[in-house]
Amino acid sequence: MSVGTANEKAFASTLVKNSYGKSLVRLTKINRSGKIPTWKEITVEIELAGPEFGGCYYEGDNSKIVATDSMKNTVYVIGARNDLNSIEEYGLALAKHFLDDYKHVDEANIRISEDIWSQIPIEGGVHPTSFVKAQSDLRCAHIWMTRKETKITSGIDNLIVAKITNSEFAGHIQDAYTTLKDTHDRIFGTKVEAKWVWKNHKADFNAGYEAARKIMLETFAHHHSLSAQQTLFAMGDAVIAKVSDIEEISLTLPNLHRIPFNLEPLGMDNKNEIFVNTSEPHGTIRGTMARKK
């Protein structure tokens, strides 16, 4: 480590953790190798760590610093070299670059999110090179790489779904803090955030992503929900059951409440038809499901 003890002595504190990098690097790549051009749009974050960066914190010694501007350049250079088949493969290439080229980097974190575009429907099919953002959700990946280990976590963010029947919530604790009554027919709306850990880095990332998304949507659709927790578990468990490349999955489901509007003071009866769609407060349900050993 480049930091002299002499200098550290001057301080009241010790730097026990450090990292730095570049966020919100946006890359659009057009692939012109086939008959028709195809494309991807991604947003990349790079975060590097290692004890030798300490000199920069203690003394402003930048001699070991890969400028965050250079990291930005690297996103485009590796983006030009890599075929971007999946964000996971591209992220692995980026992480490897930083560990290979800079011996004092101990750890690289690459976080990528991908906008999902669909070809525009036209008479008799879809247009090959014109696109519409037809999903609210993003595809995400996080590559964590050290000189000994690599962990690849992928996921989906902002997948907005709702079911207007087959959702109950009853039998919860009734005490001095409770005013909520049992309900056997409520709307269950949520915004799925999923993160799954791959078995290894030889997985078929694209097929796994497609499968996980489809399975979560279908399970959410079919599940007779006794609680948001139960539906969360069912969704995660179904992914584990059907996608052998995925070892563990974490889900976060906000419970975006639709609250029955009280029409009684206005002389009407609300037959479970009129609701107030709210954003705050909301429930937040979290769970991590791991493949049984």
Q: Which residues are catalytic?
A: 22, 68, 257
Ranges within 108-147 binding a copy of itself (CB under 8 A): 117, 120-123, 127, 129-136
Span from 88-96, 141-149, 203-211, 247-255 in contact with a copy of itself (CB under 8 A): 247-255
**Can residue 6 be called a binding residue for a copy of itself (CB under 8 A)?**
no
For the bound state, the minimum distance from the C-beta of residue 220 to a copy of itself, rounded and expressed in Å, comes to 6
Q: What is the DSSP letter of 148?
A: S
Q: Are 44 and 111 in contact (CB under 8 A)?
A: yes
Please say which residue, 24 or 202, places its beta carbon nearer to a copy of itself: 24
Q: Are 102 and 66 in contact (CB under 8 A)?
A: yes
User: Can you tell me whether residue 240 is helix, strand or coil?
Assistant: helix
Span from 32-40, 86-94, 143-151, 195-203 in contact with a copy of itself (CB under 8 A): 32-40
Task: Note the Cα 177 to chain centre separation in Å.
Answer: 35
For the bound state, the minimum distance from the C-beta of residue 112 to a copy of itself, rounded and expressed in Å, comes to 13
CA angle 44, 95, 104 (to 5 degrees): 120
Q: What is the amino acid identity at position 236?
A: G
**Can residue 4 be called a binding residue for a copy of itself (CB under 8 A)?**
no
Q: Which residues have C-beta within 8 Å of that of residue 240, sequence separation ≥ 6?
A: 246, 247, 248, 249, 289, 290, 291
**Can residue 283 be called a binding residue for a copy of itself (CB under 8 A)?**
yes
**Can residue 7 be called a binding residue for a copy of itself (CB under 8 A)?**
no
Ranges within 191-230 binding a copy of itself (CB under 8 A): 214, 217-218, 220-222, 225-230
DSSP 68-118: HHHHHHHHHHHHHHS--S-HHHHHHHHHHHHHHH-TT--EEEEEEEE---E
For the bound state, the minimum distance from the C-beta of residue 201 to a copy of itself, rounded and expressed in Å, comes to 22
Ranges within 259-278 binding a copy of itself (CB under 8 A): 261, 263, 265-268, 270-278
Q: Are 94 and 46 in contact (CB under 8 A)?
A: yes
Ranges within 45-104 binding a copy of itself (CB under 8 A): 45, 47, 53, 56-74, 76-77, 79-80, 101-102
